Amino acid sequence: MWKSKKSLFPVLAIALGLICGMNPAGAADATAKPARLVASGSDGRPVSLADGSGRTALVVFWSPESLASRKSMHELQRFAAATENKEIFLLAVSTSLDRDKLQAFMAERKLSFPYALRGEDDLGAIDEQRLPLVLVFDAEGRLLRQHSGMFHQKTLRRLINPGNKP
């Protein structure tokens, strides 16, 4: 059974990319429709990719129940602290929908980056086994790059600026 899930991942990644306007080679398709993502912010208000106001968006899907997600959140905090808000629209979207537990998790670990609960989107199913899932969108909301699994601050910088060394 594990082999079948593992072998399906490239197919699912390509499908997600095609849904979000990325061709299999990894480049955004300029004619593709922008991704639709509306989440429920930490204060309960809607937050969306459109809130990025023309900036590159880094969206991290994660869950407090995922060990890899929990280990990566401090790296996301370091990245958020080192990145000016003017440069990148950053949003951590929890797949866990319990707002109280999520707020307690964030407070206990002193995490202050923008976060939300998953709401409506056209990104399809997200495999909880592959969390965290990092998606980078261009200023128009088209998917540029993605990374699945644990990450470090250098990984995030490389995803944002693939031509530059972290």
**How many domains does the chain contain in total?**
1
Q: Does residue 165 belong to any structural domain of this protein?
A: no
Give residue-wise pLDDT tens across range 84-137: 667 899 999 999 888 999 999 999 999 999 999 999 888 888 888 899 999 999
Question: Which of 135-155 are b and which e, b meaning 16 or more Cβ less than 10 Å from the residue's Cβ?
Answer: bbbbeebbbbbbbbebbbbeb
* Least confident interval from 26-30, 131-135, 145-149, 157-161: 26-30
Residue 107 half-sphere exposure, CB side, CA atoms within 13 Å?
A: 7
Residue 84, pLDDT score: 67
Q: Does residue 115 belong to any structural domain of this protein?
A: yes
> Of 25, 6, 23, nearest to 15 (Cα)?
23
Q: Does residue 166 belong to any structural domain of this protein?
A: no
Q: Does residue 56 belong to any structural domain of this protein?
A: yes
70 in the Ramachandran plot: left (φ > 0), alpha (ψ -120 to 50) or beta? Answer: alpha
Mean pLDDT, rounded, for 139-145: 93
* Least confident interval from 12-16, 51-55, 85-89, 159-163: 12-16
Residue 1, pLDDT score: 39
Give residue-wise pLDDT tens across range 20-58: 444 444 455 555 678 889 999 988 999 998 898 789 999
Mean pLDDT, rounded, for 8-18: 40
DSSP string, 29-52: -TTSPPP-EEEEETTS-EEEGGGG
Residue 9, pLDDT score: 39
- The CATH number given to whatever domain includes residue 61 is 3.40.30.10
Q: Does residue 61 belong to any structural domain of this protein?
A: yes
Residue 164, pLDDT score: 65
> Alpha-carbon distance 136 to 79, whole Å?
14
**What are the structure tokens assigned to 100, written together?**
């109280």
Beta bridge partners of 145: 136
> Alpha-carbon distance 11 to 17, whole Å?
10
User: Which range marks the domain in which residue 124 is found?
Assistant: 2-160
Residue 34, pLDDT score: 84
More confident residue, 4 or 53: 53
Q: What is the spatial order of strands in the sheet that 88-94 belongs to?
A: 46-48, 37-41, 115-121, 88-94, 56-62, 133-137, 143-148
Whether 18 has a pLDDT exceeding 80, the answer reads no
> Of 54, 108, 49, nearest to 77 (Cα)?
108
Q: Does residue 141 belong to any structural domain of this protein?
A: yes
Q: Does residue 67 belong to any structural domain of this protein?
A: yes
Q: Does residue 135 belong to any structural domain of this protein?
A: yes
Residue 31, pLDDT score: 57
Residue 29, pLDDT score: 55
